[in-house]
Amino acid sequence: MADLFHNLALGFGVAVSPINLLLCLIGALVGTLVGVLPGIGTIATVAMLLPITFGLPPVGALIMLAGIYYGAQYGGSTTSILVNIPGEATSVVTTLDGFQMAKQGRAGPALAIAAIGSFFAGCVATVLIAVLGAPLTKLALAFGPAEYFSLMVLGLIFAVVLAKGSVLKAIAMIVFGLLLSMVGSDIETGASRMAFNIPELADGLGFATVAMGVFGFAEIIRNLDAGAEMDRDLVQQKITGLMPTKKDLIDSAPAILRGTVLGSILGILPGGGAVIASFAAYTLEKKIAKDPSRFGRGAIEGVAAPESANNAAAQTSFIPLLTLGIPPNAVMALMVGAMTIHGIVPGPQVMQKQPDLVWGMIASMWIGNLMLIIINLPLVGIWVRLLRVPYRLMFPSIVVFCAIGIYSINNAPVDVVLAGAFGLVGYWLIKHDFEPAPLLLGMVLGPLMEENLRRALLISRGDWSVFLTRPLSAGLMAVAAALLVLAVLPTLRRKRDEVFVESES
């Protein structure tokens, strides 16, 4: 316990330094700014803004990125409440009741409750990370290569089960991602694999490059299909009365609490993350409500619960990353990319060797949440004006900004062309109803998986049963297998589809 306070104190010591506070503030502001732009999701926002953190020291860069991440999420909620366009998957459910509230002239309270719920969830999740961080790190030390491999398989299976649509297609996407991660030099022998003598490929496909292509460029091209003037029924009334009434607060308090608990649990699971948390929280609220018919007509619980759940999940998903070094979702995968660029290999060692970095980041999450609540509520008017920027002007700006950003990573023009190519790949994926997020996750986990697989088999002298004879690994594998079976079983599949259909009804 004393350890916990010591760690948190250390973290706040780092995070409260003026420069880091400033970075956190800028990150949250810029993240919201980009996240508010319709059609740009959290992943695209983080990928786009990744290059602007390169010039900073590692701690500052990570703090800023964390700020960007929360900002982007909050920006996504703002657009879903005000314009009925969810910036990203996590805020899809927020549109259901949030937009209805806005139509009834209660956009202010909806935004305020979203912010308050997020802040509360953020506080709880921050404490949770601090509490769970150290013991999980100890657990991580008991992990051998076989266990790591099994855990990653479990994570990928989670990602499959929780992805929208066909299980088969999601698995195919993961394997495609794994295959893409093989491009470049082999870790052990240094042999060049599938690089076709292109020097820029010798180092492998850059993760940010692929992410920017598949999420940034592909999204732009897709939006252009629909015509540049997207159908936007912007709420025209002036937003008045920002503060929620006492009744609103009383109504939403239990919803926030439930959302936080649900989100925190789902966030820790590898592959889980924020999307499923917000869906699950909304479904739960609807199930236990006395009058479920209020939902979809502007029930404040329908905003409070998913918003707090997705923020809690967003934050607790840092736990597997910081303790085990395994990114549980695509955004965390980008964070790994950022850490690697700064020479940090995420995992149990980081916690011990660079406690200031880890705890500084954890503390800055809390501060970031606080800032969101302080800066965003007064700035709602500006965000609304931003939403009126026509897409015909916005998309060329995004193209150029992304291109400059990718170029600045390695100063390599080839990277820009590759990102463009992956934009086309992403467009093709969308047209054939493949989810790009599992692909990204597979790509990040690929090298880790291969390395641990090779090591495990080397240690066991080529015996594949090692994954089933070591108890911890066998347990993880069993859970993965059970999940996969459940996912293809008809009854659960229907349930799972129901959860996702909720948003479209």
Partner 1 sequence: MAETTGEVPNRSATERAPAARNNFGALVILVLALAPQIIELLTSCAGLIFNFSGRNPLQVLAGHGSALLLAVAGLATQSFGGGKAALSSDTLLALIYTYPMLAVALFTLLVRLRAPQDYFGGVVLMAMALFSLWASSDLQGMHGFSFGAGTAPRMFGMLLLALGAAVAIVGVVSDGPDLAIYHWRGPLFVMLAIVAFAVSIRPLGLVISGLASFLISALGTPETRWVETLIVGVCLTIGCALLFPYVLGLPMPLFPRFLVQ
Catalog residues that contact partner 1 under the rule CB under 8 A.
51-52, 54-55, 166, 168-169, 171-172, 175-176, 178-179, 182, 186, 188-189, 191, 193-194, 196, 217, 220-221, 224-225, 227-229, 392-393, 395-397, 399-401, 403-404, 407-408, 411, 413-414, 416-417, 419-420, 423-424, 427-428, 430-434, 450, 453-454, 457-458, 461-463
Residue 430 vs 474, nearer CB to partner 1? 430
Furthest-apart CA pair in the chain: how many Å?
A: 70
In the complex with partner 1, which residue's Cβ is closer, 142 or 393?
A: 393
Question: Given the complex with partner 1, which of 142 and 191 has the nearer CB atom?
Answer: 191
Nearest of 264, 266, 265, 309 to residue 285 by alpha carbon: 309
Cβ at position 380, least distance to partner 1 in Å: 24
**CA atoms of 85 and 92, how far apart (whole Å):** 8
Q: Give least dist CB 495 to partner 1, A.
A: 20
Which pair of structure tokens corresponds to residue 491?
């009854």
Residue type, 137: T
Check if the beta carbon of residue 387 is closer than 8 Å to that of residue 232. Answer: yes
**What span, in angstroms and rounded, lies between the C-alpha atoms of 505 and 392?**
30
What's the closest the beta carbon of residue 172 comes to partner 1, in angstroms? 4
CB of 198 or CB of 482, closer to partner 1: 198
The b-or-e profile of 12-23 (16+ CB within 10 A means b, else e) is: bebbeeeebeeb
Least distance between partner 1 and beta carbon 185 (Å): 9
Count of C-beta atoms within a 10 Å radius of residue 378 = 9
Number of other residues whose CB lies within 10 A of the CB of residue 222: 15
Smallest distance from partner 1 to CB 413, Å:
4
Cβ-based nearer residue to partner 1, 16 or 175: 175
Nearer to partner 1, 165 or 475 (CB): 165
Task: Retrieve residue 450's tokens.
Answer: 């291969």
Rounded least distance, CB 404 to partner 1, Å: 6
* Residue 184: φ, ψ to 5°: 115, -165
Q: Is 127 exposed, middle or buried (0-12, 13-18, 19+ CB in 10 A)?
A: middle
Q: Smallest gap, in angstroms, from Cβ of residue 431 to partner 1?
A: 4
Burial 382-420 (b: 16+ CB within 10 A, else e): ebbebbeeebeebbeebbebbbebbbebbebeebbebbb
Paired tokens of 390: 């026509």
- Smaller CB separation from partner 1, 241 or 413: 413
* Between 125 and 487, CB nearer to partner 1: 487
Secondary structure letter of residue 274 according to DSSP: H
Residue 418's region, left for phi above 0, alpha for psi from -120 to 50, else beta, is: alpha
The smaller minimum CB distance to partner 1, of residues 190 and 378, is found at 190
Q: What is the closest distance, in whole angstroms, from the C-beta atom of residue 469 to partner 1 in the complex?
A: 16
* Least spacing, CB of residue 50 vs partner 1, in Å: 11
| Exposed / middle / buried, residue 50 (Cβ in 10 Å: 0-12, 13-18, 19+) | buried
What span, in angstroms and rounded, lies between the C-alpha atoms of 470 and 142?
12
Min. distance of Cβ 456 from partner 1 in angstroms?
Answer: 11
Nearer to partner 1, 421 or 479 (CB): 421
Are 215 and 31 spatial neighbours (Cβ–Cβ below 8 Å)? no
Q: How many CB atoms lie within 10 A of CB 498?
A: 12
